[in-house]
Amino acid sequence: MSSVYDLLPANGIPPAHIHRDVPMSTCTTFRIGGPADCLVDISSVNELQTVLAFIRTHGLPFIVIGNGSNLLVRDGGIRGVVIRLSSLFSSISEAAQFTPSRSSGSFIRADAGVSLSALAQFAATHGLDGLAPLSGIPGTLGGAVLMNAGAYGGEIGELISEVSAVSTETGELVTFPGHQLTFSYRNSSFMSMPHIITSATLFLSPGDPDRIRARMQELSVQRREKQPLSLPSAGSTFKRPQGAFAAKLIDDCGLRGFRIGQAQISEKHCGFIVNLGNATAAEILTLIDYVRDVVFKQTGFTLEPEIRIVGENTTRPGGNAL
């Protein structure tokens, strides 16, 4: 059955970048989620602007994803278009034209789809420090800037010099100086702006490449020892409540290892909900609600999900044709 999505190639989008009825379980680190009507891999700003124009013309719903590392897609999947900025949109360069003296630091510019691990490796190779704490986060730069990702005392918002983004309303490419943006715990100005982040420029301090890599390796070992990296998850499930730590609250409530179906509070780190193999989004969401209820009743703290939850609870009758 033909649909509006069949018109995308005629609008200048390479057919190889267009995917129909994509199981979102293949696009998220949770390995959970029903099918998306249409997923488009973006390889350039122009391509993104073209897709957004198509979406506006046809009145289609859409969401934007990167590596799917902080995402839970409901079992009914996603209606409309999933715009994915990942490996096809991931160039990195040292922004020499903006670089001050080597003694004070340097700028690097990267597309939104570059992985934080690749960005950190690039910086280390060029003797630039500041990204080591973020090097083990399995997400992309765009998602990291959007939610001000952080770990081990560092947040990406502290490094931002400027961010470029495309308006979803007009298609215009706009560059925002860092001082005009607000970053807070797991939040940024972009959370409430109708823009899609396309690139960011970061200012990093000079450092010894060997020492930077050693620090990255040290933090990698810590993650493997403390986090359930062998099982699918979306990272930390809950935000840190003021005055407490989510993982400790959950553990103190006796929920370590508690499970609903194939969804489980990690036995290794209570801040993670893991997929034991065939978990459904419904099981994950039921477990999230249960944990929040127990923690509130026992401690008075309200846990807020850190993960992004999208999609439909049930598949729409009649298939995907629009």
Neighbouring C-beta atoms of residue 319, cutoff 10 Å:
11
Lowest average pLDDT, out of 54-68, 245-259, 308-322, goes to: 308-322
Q: Is-catalytic flag, 233?
A: no
Domain ranges of the chain: 4-84, 92-215, 238-305
For residue 154, what pLDDT is reported? 86
Q: Is 31 a catalytic residue?
A: no
pLDDT-derived band of residue 152, with 50, 70 and 90 as boundaries? confident
Q: For residue 221, what are its two tokens?
A: 């070992």
Tell me the mean pLDDT in the region 238-247.
95
Candidates 164, 236, 266, 283; catalytic one: 236
Nearest to 237 by CA among 252, 249, 225, 224: 249
**CA nearest to 80, candidates 118, 112, 46, 39:** 39
Q: Which CATH architecture has domain 238-305?
A: Alpha-Beta Complex (3.90)
Q: What pLDDT sits at residue 11? A: 80
Choosing from 47, 155, 283, 306, the catalytic residue is: 306
Q: What is the mean pLDDT of the chain?
A: 92
Q: Which CATH number describes the domain made up of 4-84?
A: 3.30.43.10
CB 93 within 8 A of CB 108: yes
- Is residue 102 pLDDT above 60, yes or no? no
User: Is there a catalytic annotation at residue 267?
Assistant: no
Give me the residue label for tokens 């508690």.
258
Beta strand 183-184 with 187-188 is antiparallel
State percent of the chain over pLDDT 90.
86
**Residue 1: pLDDT over 80:** no
Tens digit of each residue's pLDDT (9 = 90 or more) over 245-287: 999 999 999 999 999 999 999 999 999 999 999 999 999 999 9
The answer, as to whether pTM is greater than 0.85, is yes
User: 92-215, what's its fold?
Assistant: 3.30.465
Among the options 186, 188, 189, 199, which is catalytic?
186
Does residue 318 have a pLDDT over 60?
Answer: no
